[in-house]
Amino acid sequence: MKSFSLRRVAQYARYHYSVTRFHYLSFILAVIALPSLFGILSHNLHTAVSMLVAIYVFGGIAVAVSTTRTMRGRGTKIMDGVLPVSAAERQVFNVVNLAVAYPAVFALASALILGVVAPFHVNQLSSLFFENLDFCSAYALLADEALLYWPMYVFVQIVCSTSLLINICARRSLILTYLMLFIGFVLFMVLFALGMDWLSDNVAFNFSFNPDEATKSVVENIVKAIYAMTPVAIYALGYVALRRRQVKW
């Protein structure tokens, strides 16, 4: 492709959703069913909100799998490989699907779930742990903790972009790839904890750095910028990987 075209992005999105609509519908139904069921059984909107937060954080893994399904599926990858769409246009769709469509659909599904659970909610007037909720306050709580909380949105996008990169780079078994990465992450965290414990026992640290408020503010802004740019960098790596692997699906 000699030029980037939003029209081809839209056409590719229409093709993708028509082929994978049942996978997305299955995911949406699962998202709706589980929090609704447990919220109704517990008669508690807090249960539904807690489950929605957990699903929102890790649901991007399933959405990333669906996003690359037409490129990886045995019955669709040949057709997908000859579509008149460039790697840049594919990646733009991938990013929009994970960064815009996923949070928007999840917000709508959450409103439906809390609306279903709200009539069954029983306020515990003597509860010391939970505030009394209705539909509006429960949705506001979910928005404050997840949907409109920007550090949570960035973390979700880190999960989504990393999952997308894994799906682009993995050759065959996604489950095996995710399992190996999970084991590697656990081993890294264990080794890191052991290393820090050894350093604390064997190395004497004496830091006398006392920054002023202006320096603290600068450092804080730098850390926030690095954190916010992390998913952007991973999406960019996904584009590079997609360009290299597009002819090898």
Residue-by-residue DSSP string for 88-150: HHHHHHHHHIIIIIHHHHHHHHHHHHHHHHGGG----TT-SS-----HHHHHHHHIIIIIT-H
CA distance linking residue 229 with residue 159, whole number of Å: 13
Binning pLDDT at 50, 70 and 90, where does residue 124 land?
low
Evaluate whether 132 touches 54 at the Cβ level (below 8 Å): no
Whole-model pTM: value is 0.83
What's the confidence (pLDDT) of residue 249?
A: 45
For residues 109 and 225, what is the distance between their CA atoms, to the nearest angstrom?
Answer: 31
Beta strand extents in 4-69 (DSSP E only):
none
Average pLDDT over residues 105-124: 89
Q: How confident is the model at residue 242 (pLDDT cuts 50, 70, 90)?
A: confident
Q: Is the dihedral of CA 233, 234, 235, 240 positive or negative?
A: positive
Q: By three-state DSSP, how is residue 52 classified?
A: helix
Inform me whether the pLDDT recorded for 58 exceeds 70.
yes
Q: Is the per-residue pLDDT at 129 higher than 70?
A: no
Q: How would residue 80 be classed by pLDDT, with cut points 50, 70 and 90?
A: confident
